[in-house]
Structure formats: structure tokens, C-alpha cells
Amino acid sequence: MTLRLYNTLTRRKEEFSPIDPANVRMYVCGPTVYDYAHIGNARPVIVFDVLFRLLRHLYGPEHVTYVRNITDVDDKINARAKEEGVSIRELTERTAKQFHADIAALGVLTPTHEPRATEFIGPMIEMIEILIAKGNAYVADGHVLFDVTSTKDYGQLSKRSLDEMVAGARVDVAPYKRGDMDFVLWKPSDAETPGWDSPWGCGRPGWHIECSAMSWKHLGEVFDIHAGGIDLVFPHHENEVAQTRCAFGHKVMANIWMHNGFLQVEGQKMSKSLGNFVTINELLEARKFGSNMWHGKVLRLAMLLTHYRQPIDWTVDRLVETRSLLADWIASAKNQGDPNRVPSKLVEALSDDLNTPSAISILHGLGKSARSEPSVENFDALGSALKFLGLWESEKSDKIMGYGVESGTDQVDPVLVDSLVASRLEARKAKDWKESDRIRDELATMGIAIRDNKDGTTTWEVKL
């Protein structure tokens, strides 16, 4: 089966032909660990997890190398650690642990390698020394900067001219820079800032050189696929391309560049200033976006309803509809399915540039067949498709919070549960603790766990 992927570098869909079919190599830019990951950060994690699954299916799990990094040295990290009065190590360890817990709930596979920037300072220094020796970088006032004019085709990925980039970028003005677009490879550190010994004094790396060094050491000078959010095309990926190509002398850094589209919340761009900034953890723990906890697989499916290159409007209605849809599919699969027996038509849909809307349409058809023509074969096809897409693991581990998923021989009725929860809230307001406890116990016998929140609301979920 032919895999075709849209290449940001060429602006067209291309047939994917790996450099080495025995070792298909992919790099995806990961989080900067200083705060909870927001729901926009979840999109590339989910999208390229689907690609990872597809590549493993097409080439064999042992023949795919997937690298997703962690940035644990950055000025945002330094500022947040100072603000909280904790060590940088404590902050990054805590935030990375939270990131892993959040994305595990989204059903993503563990990448082959997950390098941390602080573990690759040596290779970064090595690359910088190569760039200086080749005349692509220069030392100035304790900094090392990449000379953008030293590479004639800078801008090939973003398809912008140098003048356009200068006009559209937030350029750091500094007297030691030769050109406005020159970017930092290495910068000095003071006594309060993390630093490493280098030929240019105690300092730390710039952001762009980190990914170049980590991908080089894990995947080589040229590899198959580099991916991330559309916001990374410029300047991050553009600068990666420039410094890596100049260091090693190749025409490309990666043969295919893939980027997922933006995410907005309820019709508005997500931002802290608008107060609509939503983290993965807030959705999982019911601290925002509706009164019920959102199961991680619901969030995953909500992402896949839209093609990865298109923008998403993240709404409560979208999640409510998705939850009901996923619960119906899981119930219809009757606990059948094997992710290794994925239906060929699903693989064919995903092989067309990860066409997940087409894949969802196929799930609709499989669900309809499982309900109208009950058979082990139809149950298995639906369950296998769900498991391959990471939308279901097992009946026990993936009950979708009270929406039509069987529990033993009984089925949870969300209308009844909501009614009991409302009655319990009234009892609590009236300080009728005996009635409140009675309703709580009744819910428990139904397999329902409740949580009383600080804001006076109560959320519920099916106990696993």
C-alpha cells in the first residue's frame, strides 16, 4: 500500500519512500517543560502518534524509530523556577512527569527515544564548532550566532524572503549581531542561570540548536520525517534546517516536513489573556470545559475528527458529541478486536496523508454493521479499528463515563445518574447528610464514583 504525505517543504503530497525501509526515522518537537501542556500541545502528540502507529503497521514495529524530545533548558523555564522559588531541576522533573501522565491518558504510544536537551549539550557544542569552522557562525560578546546570509536559500521551508522574515519576525535587537535575522546558537550564563563550560565561556544553548543536535545523534544527518505544529515552521524549523544543512553539507535535513494546524477555543484563538487557555490536565480533571471529566480517549477522538492540517475549533459541544459517539462504538464492539488485525480500508484511508476524517467515516460504517448484522467478524473489525487508532484498549480500562458502555450485565443511564447527583446536591445544601450519604452509596452500587469540587459542583465517572 502506498503512503502519501503532504510535505511542507515542497507544498504538495508526495509518495513516502524511506531512506532505509529497515529503519524509518521520524522526529517530532516535544514540550518545553515549565507548565502544564495545553490542549493545543496535545494535537501534534496525538496526530503523529497515529502516524507512528501507521508506520509500525506498514514497516514493522522494529523498523521504525520515533524521537520526541523534551526541552528542559530554556529561558521560560528559568523564569518560572525563579517565580516559584524552586530549582530548575525540580520544576522540569515535575512538569515532565505531569506531561507524561496527561498524554498517557490520551492513548499515545511511548516514542522510541525521548531525549532531554540537557543530555545533549556536548553534541550541541560540537555542531556549533563545525558551523564556526565553516564560516556559518561567529562569536560576538560571549554569544555564538548563526550568520543567516551565509546560506543563500534560507527561507526554503517557510517560503519567505529575507525581507518578509525581518518584517514578520520579533527580531532581537543586539549590537553584537551582524544581521537582524542572525539567531543565537550559544549564549552566556550568569551565576543564577544554568550553564555549561564551552570554548566560549560558561553558557547555555539556543533553542534551535537543541533539536538539530538531538535529531542528529538519534537519527543521523538526514532522516525521513520531521514534524510539529504549524507555528514551528518559522523560525524554529527554518533555523533547524539552516544550521543542520550547513553543518553537514546536505541538501535537506529531513525529506518530509509535516505540520498540524492551529487550534482555537469556542471560536477564539486560545490565549491566557482571553482566559480560554485550556490544559490537557484541566480537561481530564474537570476543572474547565463542562462539569464532567473528559476521558482521554474522547479528547483523542475529538482531535482526529478534523484533518491534521486544518484548524480545529475546540468546543464543549464537540466533546459531548464525541463522547457519545465513542461510547456507542465501544459498546458495539462487544469487547472484540486486535490492533494487529486492522481493516485494510482503514489503513488505506490513513495512507492518504493521515486522512482521519475518512477513517472516522469507516468507523461509522463498521459501527453500523456491528449493530445491524451482529457477528464476531463485525465486532472484531470495529474493535480492531478502534484499538489501532488508540481509541480503545479494553472494556474494563476504557469505560467512557456513563455513555452507553456496558458494566457487567447492566448499562449506565447518564440521565438517571445526573438526576441522582442533582438530588444529592440539594440534600447537601439542606445539610441533610444522611440523604446525601444514601445517594452516594446508591451511586457506588451502580459503579459510579463522584467527586465534590471546591466550587460547589459535583462530577462523576464510571469506576474502572
**Spatial contact of 233 and 160, defined as CB atoms under 8 Å apart:** no
In this predicted structure, what is the pLDDT of residue 334? 87
pLDDT (tens digit per residue) in 405-423 = 333 334 556 656 776 787 8
Which CATH architecture fits 292-401? Answer: Up-down Bundle (1.20)
Which secondary structure element, helix H or strand E, spans residue 449, and what is its range? strand 448-452
Does 85 score more than 50 pLDDT?
Answer: yes
List the chain domain ranges: 4-260, 292-401, 414-462
The Cα–Cα gap between 278 and 282 comes to 7
pLDDT band at 451 (very low <50, low <70, confident <90, very high): confident
292-401 has the same fold as 4-260: no
The Cα–Cα gap between 292 and 298 comes to 12
Report residue 459 as a C-alpha cell: 462530577
Which CATH architecture fits 4-260? Answer: 3-Layer(aba) Sandwich (3.40)
pLDDT (tens digit per residue) in 151-201 = 988 999 998 766 666 655 555 668 889 998 999 999 999 988 999 999 999
pLDDT (tens digit per residue) in 2-38 = 999 999 999 999 999 999 999 999 999 999 999 999 9
Residue with cell 503523529: 48
pLDDT band at 402 (very low <50, low <70, confident <90, very high): very low
The Cα–Cα gap between 68 and 47 comes to 13
**Spatial contact of 163 and 105, defined as CB atoms under 8 Å apart:** no
The CA distances from residue 449 to 104, 121, 176, 327, in Å, are 21, 47, 61, 18
In this predicted structure, what is the pLDDT of residue 396? 47
Closest CA to 25 of 303, 188, 166, 223: 223
Report residue 425 as a C-alpha cell: 446536591
Q: Is 407 left (phi over 0), alpha (psi -120 to 50) or beta?
A: beta
Using only the alpha carbons of the chain, give its radius of gyration.
25
In this predicted structure, what is the pLDDT of residue 445? 75
pLDDT (tens digit per residue) in 102-115 = 999 999 999 999 99
| Across 32-60, average pLDDT | 96
